[in-house]
Amino acid sequence: MPVNSLLENKKGVEKPKLSLSLNRNNASNLRKENKPASLKIFIWPDSKNNKENKPAKRSLKDTYNNTLQAAKKLKPLTDVPKVQECELVVEVPLGNFAMLNGHHPSDNQYGGSAQWKAPIATLSNLGNTCFLNSVLYTLRYAPQFVHNLHHLVSDLSRVEQKLGSIRLKSSSLGRSAAGLAASGTRSWSSKDLLSLGQADTSATKSKIQIATEKLHETYLSLRVAESKCLHSGADAAPEPYAADSFLAALREVNSTFEGNRQQDAHELLVCILDSIRETCRALSARALRLQLQENGDSNGIGRQPTLVDGDGGKTLGNFRKSWKKRKEVKVNEKRNSPSEERPPSPDPEKDERARPGWDFVADDFEGTMVVRTMCLECEAVTEKAQAVCELCVPVSDEDATDESFRSACLSSEYLRDQNKYWCERCLRYNEARRSVAYSRLPRLLVLQLKRFSGGMEKITRHAPTPLLMPCFCEPCARRAPDQEPAHKYILWAVIMHLGQTLTGGHYVAYARDSSQADTKCEREGGGDASAANSGSSFMRTLFNRPRPSPAGCTANECCVPRPRPEACWLACDDDLVKPISNEEFEDLLSAEPKMRSAATPYLLFYVKSEVG
C-alpha cells in the first residue's frame, strides 16, 4: 500500500535479527545473520509426532542433515549455472491431493531421508530481502502462475525473434527501393543492418519486460537447482539461489525498492503483477503487429490484411476493447447458468487463454467491485464498477468469525447527517445507502489484512484465517441460504509479518505446494488436438510450433517447481524451506500472538474452486 510505503525507514537499518517460535511444537528457529562465527542450528520438526502434539523428537540423521545444510550456507554464494536439464529421470509418483482440513495418513512420509528425494530450492537473503523472497516463494507455488509466466516469456521471445527477422527483411527491401532514392550515396553493410535490428529490439525491450523475464529466470534457476540436486544423488539440499538479477531489474522498474531497506511485501506483489500485466500488453501489441506484417507479406504489398477476422485493421486500443467485450459477454453467460457446464466445442475462453499476450494477471487476480448508492427518498440506485486487485480487510475489534472477511468486504453504510448524498434525481441532499459488492472475484484472491492502517503501530490482534472460505461474489451471495455457493476459496499461501513496523521486521511465507503437474495447459499438448487442428488461424500456427510434444506443456520441464510426492505446506523463510504438516500449519494460524513482535498473517492467498 502506498500509505505503508511512506513510512520512513530508520537510519541504521534493522537487520532481521530475531528469534521466533514457529509453532507450539517447540520447533525453534534461531537465526543470527551476518555473524559468520555463529553456528546455525536448524531443528526440524518431526512430523511423526505431530498428531500427538508432543515435542518433536529428533533422529540423529535429521540433525546431521541440518547441520550439513547449515554448514553449506557458510560457503560463499555462487551463481547457479543456468543449464537446461536434458531429461527427466524419475517421475515421482504424485500423491493424492491432501485436503487442508484434518488428518492425512501420509503425513509420516516427511522426515527421514525421504524428503531429499524431492529437494526444494531456496532463496538466499541478499540483505533485508525477505520481503522479496516471501513473495517469490508465494508466486512460485501460486496455482498456474509460473506456468502462465512461462508462456508469456516464451511467446515474447518467439514474437521478438520473428519481428527481428522481419525487420531485417524489410530494411533490406527498403534499401533497394526507397533507401537508394533518398540517401543513395550511403551504403549499408549487412553488419550495419544487423546491429540496427538488434538495437531496435533492445530499445523496445522495456525495463518492465526485463523484470518479467528476470522473474521467469529466477523460477527457472530454482527449478534447475532442484533438478541438479536430485541428479547428483547426494543427500544435500539445493544451494540457496540469489535472486539479485531480478531484484536489480525490479529496482529499475520501481525505485522504491532501491537500498537495503525492508519493504512492504504487498507493494512488491502489486509491482510484480503490474509489470507482468504491462508485459502482456506489450506482447499483445507486438503479436498484432507481427500478424499484420506476416499477412502483408503473404498477400503482397499494399493489400489490406483482410484475413485477420476484423481485428486486424483496428488499433491496439480497439483490439483490446473488443476482447474485453467478448470477455464481458462470457461473464454474463456464466452468471446466468453458473452450474451449467460449458459446451465442449469451440471454447472462446480457451482461445483467449491461448492468445499471446493474454493478460492472465487480470484474469487471475482481478475482481470487479460494484459500488451501489441508493437515495433513500427516490430509491433510485446508481452503480459504479471497478476492477480491484486485492481486497483490504480491517482487523476487526470484535471476535471475528469465519464470515468476517465476507462481511468486511461486503460493506454497507448510510450517508446521512452532515454527510448526505446529492441525489441527481431529487436534485437535493438526501440520505442514502452505499454498498460494496463483488460481481466477480478472481481465481486467485489476495486479502491484505490492514495491520498497518492508521498509525505506525502494527495491529497484532489475532484474526482467524480460514483454510476454506465460502465465495462471496454476487452470484454466490444471491443464492438462497439453503443453497451452497457455486465456488469456494481454498487457502494456498500466507505471508506472515514479524515485527512491529512495516519498515522493519521479517517476512515468512507459507505456501501450499500442490503439485502443478496436473495443470491443464491450454497452449500445448494435453491431448487437445482439436484446438490445434481446427485452428487455421495464423496465431495458432505460429505459437503452437513446435508441435506439442506428448510429454505436455514445456513449462513443466522448465520453470515450474518440481512435482513433490504429495501436496504439503512449505514454510519458506529465506534460505530455509521445509515442509510442515497440516496440523503444524493450522496451529500456526490459530496461535494468538503473545508478543508485539510475533508473526501475524499479513497477506492471505486463496484459490477459487468450483463446488461439486
Residues that bind other proteins (CB under 8 A): 376, 378-379, 414, 416-417, 426-428, 431, 433
| C-alpha cell recorded at residue 167 | 525487420
Closer by beta carbon to other proteins, 379 or else 402: 379
Of the CA atoms within 13 Å of residue 354, those in its CB half-sphere come to 26
Closer by beta carbon to other proteins, 58 or else 433: 433
Residue 379 CB, nearest approach to other proteins (Å)? 5
Residue 422 CB, nearest approach to other proteins (Å)? 10
Closer by beta carbon to other proteins, 412 or else 530: 412
Closer by beta carbon to other proteins, 192 or else 413: 413
| Neighbour tally for 166: CB within 10 Å | 17
Residue 485 CB, nearest approach to other proteins (Å)? 20
Closer by beta carbon to other proteins, 261 or else 416: 416
Closer by beta carbon to other proteins, 435 or else 453: 435
Residue 431 CB, nearest approach to other proteins (Å)? 6
Distance CA 135, CA 163 (A): 33
Closer by beta carbon to other proteins, 349 or else 474: 474
Closer by beta carbon to other proteins, 173 or else 378: 378
Residues with Cβ within 8 Å of 319's Cβ and at least 6 positions away in sequence, in order, are 284, 288, 311
Closer by beta carbon to other proteins, 424 or else 610: 424
- Extended strands (E) in 402-471: 412-415, 421-423, 428-430, 432-440, 444-450, 468-470
Which residue, 249, 319, 243, 310, is CA-closest to 77?
A: 243
Residue 435 CB, nearest approach to other proteins (Å)? 12
Which residue, 443, 447, 277, 272, is CA-closest to 361?
A: 277
Residue 381 CB, nearest approach to other proteins (Å)? 11
Which residue, 216, 263, 237, 219, is CA-closest to 576?
A: 237
Residue 370 CB, nearest approach to other proteins (Å)? 18
Closer by beta carbon to other proteins, 99 or else 378: 378
3-state secondary structure 313-349: CCCHHHHHHHHHHHHHHHHHHHHHCCCCCCCCCCCHH
Tell me the backbone φ, ψ of residue 214, rounded to 5 degrees: -65, -35
Q: Are strands 421-423 and 599-610 parallel, antiparallel or unpaired?
A: unpaired
Residue 563 CB, nearest approach to other proteins (Å)? 50
Distance CA 141, CA 120 (A): 12
Please count the residues of the chain. 612
Which residue, 120, 116, 117, 124, is CA-closest to 62?
A: 116
* Chain centroid offset of residue 203 CA: 27
Residue 376 CB, nearest approach to other proteins (Å)? 6
| C-alpha cell recorded at residue 606 | 486463496
- Could you tell me which residues are beta bridge partners of residue 606? 445, 491
Q: Are strands 428-430 and 421-423 parallel, antiparallel or unpaired?
A: antiparallel
Residue 420 CB, nearest approach to other proteins (Å)? 9
Closer by beta carbon to other proteins, 428 or else 545: 428
Residue 411 CB, nearest approach to other proteins (Å)? 16
Distance CA 213, CA 280 (A): 12
